[in-house]
Amino acid sequence: MATAPAVDQMPSETPDEQAGREQFDRLISEDSRIEPRDWMPEAYRKTLARQISQHAHSEIIGMQPEANWISRAPSLKRKAILMAKVQDEAGHGLYLYSAAETLGTPRDKMTEDLIAGKARYSSIFNYPAVTWADMGAIGWLVDGAAIANQVPLCRASYGPYGRAMVRICKEESFHQRQGFEILLELANGTPAQKEMAQDAVNRWYAPALMMFGPPDDDSPNSKQSMAWNIKRFSNDELRSRFVGMMVEQVKVLGLTLPDDQIRFNEDTQQWEHAPLDWDEFKEVLAGRGPCNAQRMERRREAHEDGAWVREAAAAYADKRATAAAQQKAA
């Protein structure tokens, strides 16, 4: 009868793999960072590649609802601020694609998957931005939810991801602030402006809460992500914390949240809110939201329109490589 391997030995592992795995386990248990050249379990690599690329896609697709309002911003100041914000989101996409590439998937492949409709991005960006007040509600609620989600990711165990998040979070704070300020101005404007602000908050509130992902008992991968120090808090914990922040901030705005079930539960020390429509979430995620088709079509067009830039960049890189090779040979 064969002897069963000891618990901490994988049967088909080479000594190098075993040393790599031991180092990985040690780094995780010390709450240190894993860097691109370190050994890592395939499942860790895959989980991160999926999460970071989805995150990058969300930043890029997320530019669309707001970019649509740049030409209709009510003043030069608002236009300049909104342009800066949308450009920041492009930058976030770039940092995150770079971070994802360190895991071995080329950016071209990630883009290909996105435009082929194979990759996911945050379901929130499949809702339409129908009034100027939506720029306020998106900044306050959507970027607000993004911050609540992303601040803990600054401590994610994968180095390139955590470092990208540090810079992203600084910019997200400005995004939330500018959204809040748009709503504040509208809420203190004419009755029609106040109504427009309230209407935008009413429409974006529930989708923003869904940005934290499905409830904990329906989020099978969360546990493993927490064990790997990628995620630090569960979806429901983050959502609860976010509701607690918003319920205070909305008072300053002089508006209300469309949820009469918000309360702080002293026993669980968690903020509670009305149930969310998870069927709607699944529908939108499956590609059947109000703007999915439009977002994908616009992304494909932009990709095609940008072909000459990619070709020019590749030609320039070739030219430099040839010149460098010639110089070396001389």
Binding site for Fe ion (CB under 5 A): 59, 89, 92, 143, 172, 175
Rounded Cα distance between 157 and 274, Å, is 33
Q: How far is the CB of 17 from Fe ion (least distance, A)?
A: 37
Q: Give the residue with the Cβ less far from Fe ion, 105 or 149.
A: 149
Q: How far is the CB of 122 from Fe ion (least distance, A)?
A: 10
Q: Give the residue with the Cβ less far from Fe ion, 175 or 194.
A: 175
Q: How far is the CB of 207 from Fe ion (least distance, A)?
A: 15
**Tokens 């994908």, residue located:** 296
Which of 131, 171, 144, 146 minimizes the C-alpha distance to 253?
144
Q: Name beta bridge partners: 263.
A: 272
Q: How far is the CB of 82 from Fe ion (least distance, A)?
A: 11
Q: Give the residue with the Cβ less far from Fe ion, 145 or 250.
A: 145
- Give the amino acid at 10: M
Which of 255, 73, 244 minimizes the C-alpha distance to 144?
244
Rounded Cα distance between 168 and 171, Å, is 5
- Give the amino acid at 126: N
Rounded Cα distance between 191 and 187, Å, is 8
Rounded Cα distance between 164 and 143, Å, is 16
Q: Name beta bridge partners: 270.
A: 265
Q: Give the residue with the Cβ less far from Fe ion, 164 or 186.
A: 164
Q: Give the residue with the Cβ less far from Fe ion, 27 or 145.
A: 145
Q: How far is the CB of 64 from Fe ion (least distance, A)?
A: 13
